[in-house]
Amino acid sequence: MTDPVHKLRIRGLRKTYGSVVALVGADLEMRAGEFVTLLGPSGSGKTTLLLIIAGLVQPDAGEVWIDGTLSTYLPAYRRDIGMVFQNYALFPHMTLYENIAFPLRMRRVAESRIREEVRRVLTIVRLPGVEDRLPSQLSGGQQQRIALARCLVFEPPIILMDEPLGALDRKLRQQLQLEIRDLHQRLGITVLYVTHDQEEALAMSDRICLMDEGEIEQIGTPGDLYFRPRTVFAADFLGESNLIDAVVTSRTDRTVDLEGPDGVPITATVAQAIQPGQKVKVLVRPENLRVLAAGEAADNCLRARLRDTILLGQVTKYYARLPDGTDVSVAQLTRPGQRRLEPGDEVCLGFDRASAVGLPLPESATRG
């Protein structure tokens, strides 16, 4: 099953801890040079999946292929994988030089080459000249760069990152997100990254693997998951969402006609198979809703009563309630002289059919 294109293939991975199912039938492929993020809430199975790939946890079933080699039961040290952890995992008593040199020494690389490689990766992570310092003499962000340098120095086929920016403040997180993304693009490294932060996943990933309750909900580009989610969970977890109850009246290959709150007709796109008579949720992102002026038309119009208006600088947020009690939010660019709206005003919220997605309800909701 050798495949020079795919650095990682996993098939049917399953892991349980007693009666708790941590991972169910996970399938994933990663191409060389790809940045894939495992995203999901706590307990979704993303760290379990990462640890199985690293060889630190054994699966109950399934296969792991790394760089064309069946690696399911190989010990961690034989997988040649780089790992970056949230707590840096640097040796506190060693200089930064010795920390970075450690994986090369374990591979019995010549000392002359070790010196060259340490200097090379310190330049890559923009920390030249710090070889003689101890980890405690660096900031948290600098320590994380050293942890990344220690991974880069032995050129592993895959680098696994387990919430590596979780301990940093917001501003530093955003800075290192850009630096890691830049490194990935410049060096063509293959990265599997774990986070529960939606914005981090959207900003850094080529593809996102969204997980929930041990299962993979959807795999796709950030645009796929944001604009074309396939489940209610995916729509609700990633970004701000308006989810509106509706019933399917008819459908074609690409569009669906629905009856929304208070019998209002809605036309939307279709994420997957839904049939006439089926109850669904219609996803409309706040930025795709707009408060219509008198005489302004849109594919869809929902009557609502305004609850609040908040000016956030360049964006104005409107909060409204539909006739069935559903709360929705609207995000519009703030413009000088725009119409002043007050709580209690009746408004028409317009949106295009291309910006709305009809999603089937979870099985538990349909059974209920």
pLDDT tens per residue across span 84-100: 887 778 899 999 999 99
Rg of the chain over CA atoms, in angstroms? 25
Chain centroid, CA 308 distance in Å: 31
Instruction: Inform me whether the pLDDT recorded for 36 exceeds 50.
Output: yes
Q: Are residues 177 and 325 in the same domain?
A: no
Instruction: Inform me whether the pLDDT recorded for 366 exceeds 80.
Output: no
What is the rounded average pLDDT of the residues 203-211?
Answer: 95
Q: Which residue has the tokens 């020494």?
A: 105
Instruction: Inform me whether the pLDDT recorded for 320 exceeds 90.
Output: yes
Last residue of a domain, one of 227, 253, 281: 227
* Residue 210: strand pairing partners: 39, 218
Query: Which contiguous run of DSSP H or E holds residue 127?
Result: none
CA distance 286 to 272: 22
Residue 233 makes CB contacts below 8 A (sequence gap 6+) with: 210, 212, 217, 362
Q: Are residues 245 and 222 in the same domain?
A: no
Tell me, yes or no, whether 282 lies in a domain. yes
Last residue of a domain, one of 187, 202, 227: 227
Instruction: Give the global pTM.
Output: 0.88
Q: Which two tokens stand for residue 69?
A: 């080699």
Instruction: Inform me whether the pLDDT recorded for 367 exceeds 50.
Output: no
Q: Are residues 208 and 334 in the same domain?
A: no
Give the model's pLDDT for residue 368: 44
What is the rounded average pLDDT of the residues 206-233?
Answer: 95
Give the model's pLDDT for residue 182: 87
**Percent of the chain scoring above 90 in pLDDT:** 68
The CATH number for 121's domain is 3.40.50.300
Q: Are residues 137 and 246 in the same domain?
A: no
Tell me, yes or no, whether 323 lies in a domain. yes
What is the rounded average pLDDT of the residues 24-30?
Answer: 95
CA distance 30 to 33: 8
**Phi and psi angles of residue 313, each rounded to the nearest 5 degrees, phi first:** 90, -110
Tell me, yes or no, whether 175 lies in a domain. yes
Tell me, yes or no, whether 232 lies in a domain. no
Q: Please count the residues of the chain.
A: 368
Q: Are residues 155 and 57 in the same domain?
A: yes
Q: Are residues 159 and 196 in the same domain?
A: yes
Strand order from edge to edge, sheet including 315-321 = 290-291, 346-351, 300-311, 315-321, 327-333
The per-residue pLDDT for range 177-199, each reduced to its tens digit, is 888 898 888 888 999 999 999 99
Instruction: Inform me whether the pLDDT recorded for 271 exceeds 90.
Output: no
- Number of domains making up the chain: 2
Q: Which two tokens stand for residue 223?
A: 């645009």
Instruction: Inform me whether the pLDDT recorded for 1 exceeds 50.
Output: no
Look over the chain and give the mean of its residue pLDDT values, rounded to a whole number: 90
Q: Are residues 255 and 184 in the same domain?
A: no
Q: Are residues 178 and 270 in the same domain?
A: no
**Are the beta carbons of 204 and 35 closer than 8 angstroms?**
yes
How does residue 3 score in pLDDT terms, banded at 50, 70 and 90? low
CA distance 301 to 222: 28
Q: Are residues 213 and 280 in the same domain?
A: no
**Are the beta carbons of 281 and 246 closer than 8 angstroms?**
yes
Residue 312: how many other CB atoms lie within 10 Å: 9
Tell me, yes or no, whether 234 lies in a domain. no
Tell me, yes or no, whether 252 lies in a domain. yes
Residue 169: how many other CB atoms lie within 10 Å: 11
Last residue of a domain, one of 194, 227, 260: 227
Tell me, yes or no, whether 1 lies in a domain. no
The CATH number for 318's domain is 2.40.50.140
Q: Which range is least confidently modeled, 7-16, 57-66, 158-167, 319-328?
A: 158-167
Q: Are residues 217 and 247 in the same domain?
A: no
Amino acid at 60: D
* Residue 157: strand pairing partners: none
Give the model's pLDDT for residue 339: 78
C-alpha angle with apex 56: 106 to 143, nearest 5 degrees?
60
What is the rounded average pLDDT of the residues 17-46?
Answer: 94
Tell me, yes or no, whether 179 lies in a domain. yes
Q: Tell me if residue 344 falls in helix, strand or coil.
A: coil
Q: Are residues 37 and 82 in the same domain?
A: yes
The per-residue pLDDT for range 259-270, each reduced to its tens digit, is 998 899 999 998
Domain span at residue 261 reads 240-367
Give the model's pLDDT for residue 6: 87
Q: Are residues 149 and 284 in the same domain?
A: no
Residue 191 makes CB contacts below 8 A (sequence gap 6+) with: 34, 35, 36, 158, 159, 160, 161, 180, 184
